[in-house]
Amino acid sequence: MKNSLFSASLALIAAGTGCQKPQESKPDNPNILFVFTDDHSYQTLSAYDNSYIETPNLDRIANDGVKFANSFVANSICAPSRAVLLTGKHSHINGQMTNADVFDGSQQTFPKLLQDEGYQTALIGKWHLQSDPTGFDYWNILPGQGHYYNPVFIEMGKDTVHEGYVTDLITDFSMDWLNEQWSKESPFCLMVHHKAMHRVWMPDTTHLDEFKGAEFPIPETFWDDYEGRTAAAEQRMSIRKDDMDIVYDLKMADHEGEIVTRYGDWYRDGALARLNDEQRKRWDAHYDPIIDEFKASDMTHEELSEWKFQRYMQDYLAVTRSLDENVGRLLDYLEEKGLLDNTLVVYASDQGFYMGEHGWYDKRFMYEESFRTPLLMRPPKGYQRGFVVDELVQNIDYAATFLDIAGLEVPGDIQGSSLMPLLNRENPDNWRDALYYHYYEYPNEHMVKRHFGIHNGRYKLIRFYFDIDEWEFYDLENDPNEIYNAIDNPQYQDIIEEMKGELRDLTIKYDDERARKILDGELVVTE
């Protein structure tokens, strides 16, 4: 770790060199608070887009910190994204390529490296990696996806049901750890992993009515016909079809049991059954009138599709409201305890999410809405704040960043790059000019084809494989909604050929031999 006395001495020397107010010295080993959410779309975080909701507490991080305008993921699915975060390595290297894989907890992770250098580490909330957490002095996690209401938490191996709403509980437990278990003699790395805003979007009873009856604009691409895009046409995450379940997703569980759907019993016997009497009373008071109105309606397919979109948005945004409030609770706590100026506060989601674009919910594709993710950082004292970073960054970069700001050497096998030069506004000339992506989880419930690709800020090239063999190419400047697959357009052929070569270079750089062989025609994947 860096020498704090040496840094303090430099600050005193600087203070005596003139009448100009010296810049505050940067803490050598700042605390790290990493708030990580599930499926939070950048479209519903008002620091990025205030079309749907204002998120004042999240905006506090952006306004008093740094907003990353071009933040992306390496594999847009829950467990793999978490493994990328921990290891700083792409999925094919860390072994967590799909949600079904079991994370190898014996491998190198940034919490272990911080722990070895004196940081106290804690993880609270969603884990979703099947093996027990390693590298943490304390952990208290949800099993699997967890539940919104009265959830089970596994605290250091012991299961306990806790009464309450999951977003509140995760925040409570995080502040409890800081109050009662953090020794105060060492810096901390606290990872607060929320279930919100994962399906099935169950709002806290205090926010049930907040967006009731609200009407949101139908996305421009909601009625996309997927022409020229086989993978987009064959997905199963459509709001316009029964992929979005009327009962399971949209809460139309009538007391008479007349509304029967494919996943309806999962909701009735699972998430809904967890509510206690008081919670259920409030729940029914909100949803029963909506259910009655729905049952009395006689909607066309188009009307039903747009009604489903509105119901989805109302619930999703109400869940977002609780998340934003709890982020505010944590920020207030740090400020009240005098910790804020000595703490790097980071907010991110494990991936983006579709808010009706292309008629979809969920994620997985390399298209913008799921590929992009929010990333906000409030650095500790001594750093400039209130600016936007435009460089291409990715979740493989988080591990290197946390190690770097803690004064630790970043191991050479970490594939990401520290974001500290960007936080220091150094504008490095050698920063990456393209991102690599690879998604593997097919066949599965949502049936998004396997694919990998390259994105350079303006152009995107994607290779779909397994049961199809197709390329897609997009000019994001002229086609930001990714409607027109320009792979056969003559005017782009030189760019496409150049990007194919660059994509191959990235498979070599990141040691994705399987993808390289697919590109070179040496491998046809059948399993």
Note down pLDDT in tens along the chain; length 527 residues: 433 333 333 343 333 334 444 568 998 999 999 999 999 999 999 999 999 999 999 999 999 999 999 999 999 999 999 999 999 999 999 999 999 999 999 999 999 999 999 999 999 999 999 999 999 999 999 999 999 999 999 999 999 999 999 999 999 999 999 999 999 999 999 999 999 999 999 999 999 999 999 999 999 999 999 999 999 999 999 999 999 999 999 999 999 999 999 999 999 999 999 999 999 999 999 999 999 999 999 999 999 999 999 999 999 999 999 999 999 999 999 999 999 999 999 999 999 999 999 999 999 999 999 999 999 999 999 999 999 999 999 999 999 999 999 999 999 999 999 999 999 999 888 999 999 999 999 999 999 999 999 999 999 999 999 999 999 999 999 999 999 999 999 999 999 999 999 999 999 999 999 999 999 999 998 88
The count of structural domains within the chain is 3
The answer to whether residue 223 is domain-embedded is no
- The answer to whether residues 170 and 69 belong to one domain is yes
User: Angle 67-379-374 (CA atoms, 0-180°, nearest 5)?
Assistant: 30
250: domain range? Answer: 236-313
- The answer to whether residues 74 and 192 belong to one domain is yes
Distance of CA 300 to the CA centre of its chain: 35
- The answer to whether residues 194 and 70 belong to one domain is yes
The answer to whether residue 213 is domain-embedded is no
List, in order, residues 6 or more apart from 305 with CB less than 8 Å away: 222, 239, 240, 359
| CATH code where residue 112 lies | 3.40.720.10
| Residue 436: half-sphere exposure toward Cβ, Cα within 13 Å | 25
The answer to whether residue 136 is domain-embedded is yes
pLDDT (0 to 100) of residue 254:
98
pLDDT (0 to 100) of residue 22:
54
pLDDT (0 to 100) of residue 21:
45
**What are 117's two structure tokens?**
């250098």
- The answer to whether residues 246 and 378 belong to one domain is no
| CATH code where residue 501 lies | 3.30.1120.10
- The answer to whether residues 448 and 412 belong to one domain is no
The answer to whether residue 489 is domain-embedded is yes
Contact 443, 100 (CB under 8 A): no
Cα separation, 391 vs 190, in Å, equals: 27
3-state SS of 440-484?
CCCCCCCCCCEEEEEECCCEEEEEEECCCCEEEEEECCCCCCCCC
- The answer to whether residues 275 and 332 belong to one domain is no
List, in order, residues 6 or more apart from 5 with CB less than 8 Å away: none
- The answer to whether residues 404 and 466 belong to one domain is no
**What are 227's two structure tokens?**
């022409």
Of 274, 289, 313, the residue that ends a domain is 313
Stated pTM of the model = 0.95
**What are 27's two structure tokens?**
């803490």
Distance of CA 384 to the CA centre of its chain: 25
- The answer to whether residues 359 and 485 belong to one domain is no
H helix or E strand, kind and range, residue 329: helix 301-336
H helix or E strand, kind and range, residue 491: none
- The answer to whether residues 159 and 291 belong to one domain is no
Q: Which of 138, 187, 174 is nearest to 158 (CA)?
A: 138
- The answer to whether residues 408 and 496 belong to one domain is no
User: What is the CB neighbour count within 10 angstroms for residue 521?
Assistant: 7
Q: How many helices (H) and strands (E) would you count in the chain? A: 15, 16
The answer to whether residue 216 is domain-embedded is no
List, in order, residues 6 or more apart from 419 with CB less than 8 Å away: 68, 377, 389, 393, 397, 398, 400, 401
The answer to whether residue 88 is domain-embedded is yes
Contact 75, 97 (CB under 8 A): yes
Of 423, 450, 474, the residue that ends a domain is 423
- The answer to whether residues 453 and 502 belong to one domain is yes
List, in order, residues 6 or more apart from 147 with CB less than 8 Å away: 166, 195, 270, 271, 274
pLDDT (0 to 100) of residue 427:
82
From residue 308, give the alpha-carbon distance in Å to each of 215, 252, 271, 365: 12, 11, 20, 22
Of 395, 423, 451, the residue that ends a domain is 423
**What are 163's two structure tokens?**
């009464």
